[in-house]
Amino acid sequence: MVRLSYRGSLVSENLAIVSTLALFYFIAKLVRVAPFRSPAEYFAFAVIGIVIFGIVRSSLLMAATLRQELVAGTYERLAMSSFGGTASTISLMIFPIAYALAIAVIQLAVAVIGFGLDIHWSTAAIALPLGVLGALAFAPLALLFAAITLAFKQAPGQGAVLTAVSLASGLYFPVALLPWWLRWISDVQPFTPTVDLLRNVLTGFPMRGSITVALIKIVGFVVIGIPIGIYLLSAAGRFGRARGTLLEY
């Protein structure tokens, strides 16, 4: 309801989708290097990067939303509800991820209809659960930032972390172009395998490694990371109660 009340932002966001895709469509016209056999192949490479960046970024919005609840003085309702502060905070991820998935579908539709993106329709349906899985794999980091926000009222560095991870994940260029001292980052986070898998199922771009290994890495971050993140968020709530600062901002 809040989102729909700001109609201007809905229009501007859709215009931004078109302008971003147009930018990379014309940049792709300049690309004549390996491993891309044509400008269209680089455009497809970049479009998937743009789509998955929006999905993964959406999970990090939870900390910013939590900060807004604290500043507005409405977090008390969450903390005192029968649902509980921890579960309520986690639920703040649901709408941003769902909205990002809807935007991703619109982006792909615009890329296909407006810019001639060639989609592999036989495997395209797999992209939706992969997108959700990628967002969930990034959720432990979002839970960490939310816990820091709840405990200390500020969680700086989110933008820097997101930029570093996206740079090392090959969103707009192959990971092989990175210097050796940065390349290791691409192997220790779930963003890279998510991008690789989505490119493979949507455009047929070859995987850098095994599909099974990529899936295991992503699922591992979900299965191991989310319980740890939930524990840290719950601990942050107890920390705030013990200090009497839970509702401060």
Q: Is 248:71 a contact under the CB 8 Å cutoff?
A: no
Structure tokens of 33?
């290097």
> How many CB atoms neighbour CB 181 within 10 A?
7
Q: How many Å apart are CA 195 and CA 131, to the nearest integer?
A: 9
- Give residue 189's pLDDT: 84
- Residue that the structure tokens 């092989």 belong to: 176
Q: Is 186 helix (H, G, I), strand (E, B) or coil?
A: helix
Structure tokens of 76?
């008390």
Instruction: Enumerate the H helices of the chain as residue ranges.
Output: 2-5, 7-28, 39-59, 61-72, 75-80, 85-91, 94-115, 121-124, 127-152, 158-168, 180-183, 191-203, 211-220, 226-243
Q: Which amino acid is at 236?
A: A
Q: How many Å apart are CA 92 and CA 63, to the nearest integer?
A: 9
Per-residue model confidence as pLDDT tens for the chain (249 residues): 877 888 787 788 778 889 999 999 999 999 888 889 899 999 999 999 998 888 878 878 888 888 888 888 888 888 888 888 899 999 988 998 898 889 999 999 999 999 999 999 889 889 989 988 988 988 898 999 999 998 888 888 778 888 887 888 888 888 888 888 778 888 888 888 999 999 999 998 888 888 899 999 999 999 999 999 999 999 998 998 888 887 777
Look at the chain and count its residues.
249
Q: Is 91:62 a contact under the CB 8 Å cutoff?
A: no
CA distances from 157 to 5, 48, 63, 128, 189 (A): 30, 25, 12, 29, 17
Q: Is 48:201 a contact under the CB 8 Å cutoff?
A: no
- Give residue 226's pLDDT: 94
Structure tokens of 157?
């560095």
- Give residue 29's pLDDT: 93
Q: Is 100:58 a contact under the CB 8 Å cutoff?
A: yes
> How many CB atoms neighbour CB 209 within 10 A?
12
- Give residue 169's pLDDT: 85
CA nearest to 24, candidates 136, 102, 144, 110: 110
For the purposes of burial, counting CB atoms within 10 Å of the CB of 135, is it exposed (0-12), middle (13-18) or buried (19 or more)? buried
- Residue that the structure tokens 């963003």 belong to: 191
- Give residue 39's pLDDT: 92
